[in-house]
Chain A
């Protein structure tokens, strides 16, 4: 049965009405992107489908020991997270436009927003965005709306995928994007300050940056503010258990990928973009915002607020074309944070840092393995230089059962021998020892 609502006759009528042929209608789509044929194989039975999918799934390496980070992290997820978020009241909840029947969802989002604000040390948070990259793009557009300027400075120590996303989002927009080049693991102060002027809307940086190095952007916040520009910081939420917060540095908008807060690493997501800002900028912020109020009987209740920023009211002048959020992922982050608590988050972050430090010592003790950046603080990721191409070493380590590191040459020129290694609280001393032995054996 074809799931196409209109008949061939209707199609002909519509095409005749606009004076086009079917090919003419789709002429703008390049030939190489068009489907060559729609002849699909005959259907399979459920059992055959299951077998086929199991066969395909079997090609994945699911039992590797992970030392791979680069923006997405293998943290322990307490079982209670799934038990709570999979309750049908949460799982099937839809857009909470009607507060009188969406109090549970609205309260969960409100508490998520409170959690993000406490974590980042900022005043307001939205109900979440799609992922860390879109959140950064939205923050950039927000900074341009606030300042009425269109020049943006972004350091290349910011996640390469986020920068690719910003480039593709802005290629047809009047944005003057300036990329600076990180020096010895830190955002390039000289280049950034050289580009910073009274036409600049924002400086975008990341902490810890893509190389795992820890920075303090207080100086950049001050410099940006002196020119009337904003400082945008992307951060790794788990690291905030022990690191100086973007809020304390003077950041104006904070974004990040929230996957590390209770979500598994999964190709394609769903992931969680978070965004928090100073209160004075709330009306320029994209996305849903839940606020607390009282009903006519004086009870504490929650509603979507400041909706005039959004597409269903503001139409083409809305702050963003994103009018949805990642509600279930936001709930996951909230439940994870609540289960860990303040001390639990601090302890998790400390363990990541301690174990990464131990791994760094073990690995740099191997002959021929050197730290790429000299004398740099890192959180739970660091860059090592190998005596040969990193991609080859990584491939050989997969055979030994380790997903070890990210080959930096994929995004950075001249880093063919460098790999980014990540250690979370899940890795044991024994696993780190086995990794060191495996690395030594393949060099």
Chain B
């Protein structure tokens, strides 16, 4: 499932842009590939990242995967509910399963993201 209005990366992260703030998480495709999540390692608030740098780790009973920041920015908020309920990502990856919010410091880093149509086309090639 791909949601309209969000931006996407080839590593299967989604980004919701609201002004200078980006909310991010992993896509439905990613959560399905991983299976039931058992742990999410969240970044620290205040952490500065360039786009495509590791921002979080998601762990299922059979695999662990790095999550990369879709944009260049500073972490302003994390979804601490994932600490006790990592399954929120499986249940609703685009809403209650969000991972963190970033203050974008380099707007150009948004240019490399795909829209929903392009991401769907990309998924079709996999």
Q: Which residues from chain A sit less than 8 Å from chain B, CB to CB?
A: 283, 308-309, 313-314, 317
Contacts and interface: CB of A to CB of B under 8 A. Distances in A.
Contacts of B60: 308
A314 B57 CA distance: 11
Contacts of B64: 308-309, 313-314, 317
A317 B63 CA distance: 12
Nearest to B38: A308
Contacts of B59: 283, 308
B62 A283 contact: no
A313 B57 CA distance: 13
Contacts of A317: 64, 66
17 contacts: A283-B39, A283-B41, A283-B59, A308-B38, A308-B39, A308-B59, A308-B60, A308-B61, A308-B63, A308-B64, A309-B64, A313-B62, A313-B63, A313-B64, A314-B64, A317-B64, A317-B66
Q: What DSSP secondary structure best describes chain B's contact surface?
A: strand
Nearest to B62: A313
Nearest to A309: B64
A308 B41 CA distance: 12
- List the 9 closest A-B pairs by CB distance, nearest first: A308-B64, A308-B59, A314-B64, A313-B64, A313-B63, A283-B39, A308-B63, A317-B66, A313-B62
A309 B57 CA distance: 11
B75 to A, nearest CB: 13
A314 B39 CA distance: 14
A308 B62 CA distance: 7
Nearest to B41: A283
Contacts of A309: 64
Interface residues of B, number: 10
Contacts of B62: 313
Nearest to B47: A148
B71 to A, nearest CB: 21
B60 to A, nearest CB: 7
Contacts of A314: 64
A296 to B, nearest CB: 16
A363 B39 CA distance: 58
A397 B121 CA distance: 82
Given A308-B61, A313-B64, A314-B64, 14 more contacts: A283-B39, A283-B41, A283-B59, A308-B38, A308-B39, A308-B59, A308-B60, A308-B63, A308-B64, A309-B64, A313-B62, A313-B63, A317-B64, A317-B66
A314 B41 CA distance: 14
A313 B59 CA distance: 10
Nearest to B39: A283
A308 B37 CA distance: 11
A235 to B, nearest CB: 29
The interface centre, meaning the residue of B39, B41, B59, B64 with most chain A CB atoms within 10 A of its CB, is B64
A133 B66 CA distance: 31
Nearest to B44: A148
A313 B60 CA distance: 10
Nearest to A310: B64
Contacts of A283: 39, 41, 59
A308 B57 CA distance: 11
Contacts of B41: 283
Interface string B74-94: 000000000000000000000
Nearest to B63: A313
A417 B59 CA distance: 56
Contacts of B38: 308
B23 to A, nearest CB: 24
A309 B62 CA distance: 11
A97 to B, nearest CB: 13
A309 B64 CA distance: 8
B90 to A, nearest CB: 16
A313 B39 CA distance: 14
A208 B121 CA distance: 64
Contacts of A308: 38-39, 59-61, 63-64
A91 B41 CA distance: 38
A283 B64 CA distance: 12
The interface centre, meaning the residue of A283, A308, A314 with most chain B CB atoms within 10 A of its CB, is A308
